[in-house]
Amino acid sequence: MVNATTKNPPNLYLRIGLRFIRLFTSASLVAWLILLLFLLMILWMVGELRTRDMRYAQQQFDIQLQEVIQTIEQRMKAHEQILTGAAALFDASDAVSRYEWQTYISRLELPRYFPGIQAVAFARVIRPEDLQSHVQAMRAEGFSDYQLRPEGIRKLYTSIDYIEPFSGRNLAAFGYDMFSEPVRRAAMSMAVNEDATRISDRVTLVQENRGRVQPGLLMYIPIYDRTRPVATAEERWAALQGFVYSAYRMEDLMQGILGQRNLNIHFDIYSAPAPEENALLYRSHADASYTADPLFKQTLVINVYGREWTLVFTKEREILPSVWFRLDQLVLILGASISLLLFLLISFLANERQRARFLANRMTEDIQQNVQALRLSEERFRLALDSSSMGTWNWYLAENAIHWDESIYPLFGLSANHSLNTYESFLALLHPDDRARVFQEIASAMEGHVQYDTEYRIIWPDGSLHYIASRAKVLHSENHKPLLMTGTCWDITERKQIERMKNEFVSMVSHELRTPLTSINGAIGLLASGALDDSPEKTRQLIDMAYKNSQRLGLLIDDLLDMEKLSNGKIVYDMAQLPLVPLVKRALAENQIYADQYQITYRLQTELAVASVTLDATRFLQVMANLLSNAAKFSNAGNEVVVEIISLSEQWVRIAVIDQGIGIPAAEQAFIFEKFYQVDGSDKRKKGGTGLGLAITKIMVEQMNGKLGLESQEGVGSTFYVDLPLAPEQ
């Protein structure tokens, strides 16, 4: 047994393979074009999305970058404001005490409003001649171990006197001489020289005495003795009393400036016109590796209180989260998938359509061919039907309705408007002896046992017998119920007659020819043996018998030859206008021998004294001989055969031969004029005869423009009549 599962896969692969190959047929061209178009469109869309994203990111980057710069600048300005305020405090009073300084600064609430300032302080300028008194004054103020740091002899000293908040890291700055340190000195000098707020380069604040060291920055505003001129740098140096300044730890400052702002960009601040690593003030992200391959990078140089700062902004490439797609990727993947699906769909549809069209075309062609063939066969069938006088019928079983085509009605001797539409009305037409058999045959055909192929007899309304052959097929429903019986029938009466005639002829030949031949044979045999030489009487009888029999043979052969000639139109009629009555009388006289033989009498009965007809006298006498001999043969001894001459009309005369013999059954009357036809059961064999007489008679009468007719009743008698046209009166 074949296992279905082992059989299917190769088929499946084959089908998939075929489908795949079909993707490359011409039908798929449109699908390929659409796929290409879609892919191009998607690529374009993805490109657009990417550029748009990029443009947007660039804008965001620019905005944030500006925001950072602005915030830094604004905050630095605010820090300058604080210092300016502090400077104003000095300008406004002769001397600012530590307490006043403290009060002023604490009032500003720096940690709250300006986070990121490490210290706001005042560094007093001390000229070398005042150094001693300054140290003493400080110590007198309570800072007993006060010492200006670093120690040493310098041209100018500064001392961080007031520093707020005066606690923590800031304590380390107290008493420190910033002017001693070059970076700070540069910024301080610049502030004086340029009479402006200045910031320092990167420094390490003295406050960085613990923890992680941050780059530091200082902002200075010089304080002058307001009583002295400060127009020039020299005058300012001379009038210089000190500096108010802010100290910043850069990371704290930037933290204070940017606060919790969520920046998507990174930036470095260099306290130099170029991003030199040793000038790095601030780095927004501890890890500098992102700068290796940034998405955007922008370097800007800004001027911050006399110093050029370089700001390097970068935007790193975003690392995509693994679980989700970016929009453009999503579009790409979805778009490509949809395009592919669309392509397969269109390709499939196109192929299916082409296949469907191909199949439809083939089917149409087939149908056309079939229709053509059907038409031809119908034509042939119709021709066959027409020439064979065959009829077709359908019997719809559910409705018990029989539909006949119009050629059937004549077969049944009916007119076309006869209503014959049920099975029962059909059965009624059959010969009573055939009904049960046909009924049985139809029933068997419906059960599907046998073909319906039968012959039956029917009796026409005029009483004549006809033979019909019929063949039919039964169409069944799916559940084997008979639905329709469709068939044909045709008249086989002629064939039946021919068959019958043939049989009769054979038996006639075997009997009628052989019987006289046997007698002749026997007689001649006896004569030849010489046994009867001494008995002339016996010899004469034998010769007489042989003579009679050979005469009978001769007659038979004459009949056959006559028939043959008549059939081929070889007989020439010597037509002449003759008085009828004398001719009929002559016929009676010539056939008297029959009357004697069968012991009957012929009697002429005529009301017409004078009647002329046009005919061949010899042939007419032959006709009369036939009718008279038949009348004698089929009458009973002692009967009378009346020959009557009747005037039918002015044109027609009838010669009727009326016997009181055995008569002819109605069913046989139609065939009586056929060749070799002899009525069954008649004792014709005894009477001799060929069955050709009446056939010959009929043809002769008709060829002499007359009509031969018959009226007969079985057991009562027969009347054969010859109707002839009267010759015009002379």
Find the shortest distance in angstroms from Cβ 585 to ligand ADP: 20
Report how far residue 138's alpha carbon sits from residue 126's, in angstroms, rounded to the nearest whole number: 13
Find the shortest distance in angstroms from Cβ 604 to ligand ADP: 17
Would you count residue 516 as binding ligand ADP (CB under 6 A)?
A: no
CA angle 517/522/528 to nearest 5° reads 120
Would you count residue 682 as binding ligand ADP (CB under 6 A)?
A: yes
Q: Return the bridge partners of 116, or none.
A: none
User: Which of these segments, 117-125, 218-226, 460-468, 657-665, binds ligand ADP (CB under 6 A)?
Assistant: 657-665
Find the shortest distance in angstroms from Cβ 679 to ligand ADP: 3
Report how far residue 162's alpha carbon sits from residue 181's, in angstroms, rounded to the nearest whole number: 19
**Neighbour-count burial of 220, counting CB atoms closer than 10 A to its CB (0-12 exposed, 13-18 middle, 19+ buried):** buried
Number of residues that bind ligand ADP (CB under 6 A): 22
Length of the chain as a residue count = 730
Long-range contacts of 281-290 (CB under 8 A, 24+ apart): 281/202, 281/215, 281/217, 281/250, 281/309, 282/215, 282/250, 282/251, 282/253, 282/254, 284/254, 290/266, 290/314, 290/316
Using the minimum distance from each CB to ligand ADP, give the nearer residue, 321 or 681: 681
Considering only 489, 556, 655, 664, the residue that binds ligand ADP (CB under 6 A) is 664
Using the minimum distance from each CB to ligand ADP, give the nearer residue, 179 or 721: 721
CA-nearest of 136, 195, 124, 127 to 161 is 124
Would you count residue 672 as binding ligand ADP (CB under 6 A)?
A: yes
CA atoms in the 13 A half-sphere facing the CB of 21: 5
List b or e across 43-66, with b for residues whose CB sees 16 or more CB atoms inside 10 angstroms: eeebeebbeeeeeeeeeebeebbe
Find the shortest distance in angstroms from Cβ 592 to ligand ADP: 17
Report how far residue 85's alpha carbon sits from residue 66's, in angstroms, rounded to the nearest whole number: 28
Using the minimum distance from each CB to ligand ADP, give the nearer residue, 250 or 643: 643
Find the shortest distance in angstroms from Cβ 659 to ligand ADP: 5
Using the minimum distance from each CB to ligand ADP, give the nearer residue, 53 or 683: 683
Query: Side chain identity at 19, as an amino acid letter?
Result: R
Would you count residue 662 as binding ligand ADP (CB under 6 A)?
A: yes
User: Which of these segments, 165-173, 370-378, 486-494, 690-698, binds ligand ADP (CB under 6 A)?
Assistant: 690-698
Report how far residue 507's alpha carbon sits from residue 499's, in angstroms, rounded to the nearest whole number: 12
Would you count residue 661 as binding ligand ADP (CB under 6 A)?
A: yes
Element housing 534 (H / E): none
User: Which of these segments, 10-18, 60-68, 225-233, 673-681, binds ligand ADP (CB under 6 A)?
Assistant: 673-681
Would you count residue 722 as binding ligand ADP (CB under 6 A)?
A: no
CA 606 to chain centre: 92
What is the footprint of ligand ADP within residues 451-510 (CB under 6 A)?
none
Phi and psi at 453, nearest 5°, equal -150, 100
Would you count residue 631 as binding ligand ADP (CB under 6 A)?
A: yes
User: Which of these segments, 251-259, 284-292, 293-301, 675-683, binds ligand ADP (CB under 6 A)?
Assistant: 675-683
User: Which of these segments, 107-115, 451-459, 610-618, 678-686, binds ligand ADP (CB under 6 A)?
Assistant: 678-686
Using the minimum distance from each CB to ligand ADP, give the nearer residue, 485 or 672: 672
Find the shortest distance in angstroms from Cβ 531 to ligand ADP: 36
Tokens 């419906």, located at residue:
446
User: Which of these segments, 249-257, 342-350, 448-456, 684-692, binds ligand ADP (CB under 6 A)?
Assistant: 684-692
Torsion angle in degrees (nearest 10) through CA of 411, 415, 417, 419: -60
Considering only 146, 404, 634, 671, the residue that binds ligand ADP (CB under 6 A) is 634
Would you count residue 335 as binding ligand ADP (CB under 6 A)?
A: no
Using the minimum distance from each CB to ligand ADP, give the nearer residue, 397 or 710: 710
Query: Side chain identity at 452, as an amino acid letter?
Result: Y
Q: How far is CA 460 from CA 8, 41, 406, 693, in A?
A: 68, 89, 17, 27
Binding residues vs ligand ADP (CB under 6 A): 626, 630-631, 634, 659, 661-664, 672, 677-679, 682, 684, 689-694, 718
